[in-house]
Amino acid sequence: MAKGGEYQCERSTWRAGTYGQTRSLSSCPTTLPPASIQAWAHGVDPRQVTARGWPNWLLLALPGPDIWAPFAPEVTLSALDDLAADPARADAADVPLLPPDVLRNLAERWTVHVQDAIAHGIGGGYVGVEVSTAIHARLTALWHLDDSLGGTACTTSARSDLTMVTKLLRHARHTGQLTTDLHFLAAEYARFLGWAEFDAGNIPGAQRAWHAALRASAEAADPAHSAYLLANLALACVYDDQPGTGTDLLASARDIAGTRTTPLVAAMIDTWRVRATAATGDAKQAARLLNQAETEFDRARTGDTNPDWAYWMCRPSHMAETGRAFLDLGDPATAETLLSDGLAALEPCAMRDRVLYLTWIATSQARRRDLEAAARTATAALDIAATVESGRCTTLLTDLTTELAPYRAAAPVSLVLDRLSSPDR
**What mean pLDDT is reported for the chain?**
84
The share of the chain scoring above pLDDT 70, in percent, equals 76
Query: Is residue 308 predicted with pLDDT exceeding 90?
Result: yes
pLDDT digits (tens, 9 = 90+) for 348-380: 999 999 999 999 999 999 999 999 999 999 999
Phi, psi of 126 (to 5 degrees): -75, 150
Least confident of 51-55, 297-301, 379-383: 51-55
- pLDDT: which is higher, 44 or 181: 181
Q: How confident is the model at residue 241 (pLDDT cuts 50, 70, 90)?
A: very high
Q: What stretches of 14-128 show up as alpha helix (H) in DSSP?
A: 34-41, 46-52, 73-85, 100-122
CB 377 within 8 A of CB 341: no
Residue 70: Cβ within 10 Å count: 12
Q: Give pLDDT, residue 58.
A: 59
| Mean pLDDT, rounded, for 289-313 | 92
* 126 DSSP β-pair partners: 173
Least confident of 27-31, 90-94, 161-165, 374-378: 90-94
Query: Is residue 315 predicted with pLDDT exceeding 50?
Result: yes
pLDDT digits (tens, 9 = 90+) for 146-205: 999 999 999 999 999 999 999 999 999 998 999 999 999 999 999 999 999 999 999 999
Q: Give pLDDT, residue 148.
A: 92
SS3 call for 173: strand
CB 210 within 8 A of CB 188: no
In sequence order, which residues have a C-beta less than 8 Å from that of residue 110 and are 6 or more positions away? none
In sequence order, which residues have a C-beta less than 8 Å from that of residue 142 and are 6 or more positions away? 154, 157, 158, 161, 192
**Spatial distance between the Cα atoms of 191 and 374, rounded to a whole number of angstroms:** 35
Q: Give pLDDT, residue 93.
A: 46
| Mean pLDDT, rounded, for 127-152 | 92
Q: Give pLDDT, residue 90.
A: 46
In sequence order, which residues have a C-beta less than 8 Å from that of residue 113 and are 6 or more positions away? 130
Q: Give pLDDT, residue 10.
A: 34
Q: Give pLDDT, residue 322.
A: 98
CB 400 within 8 A of CB 363: yes
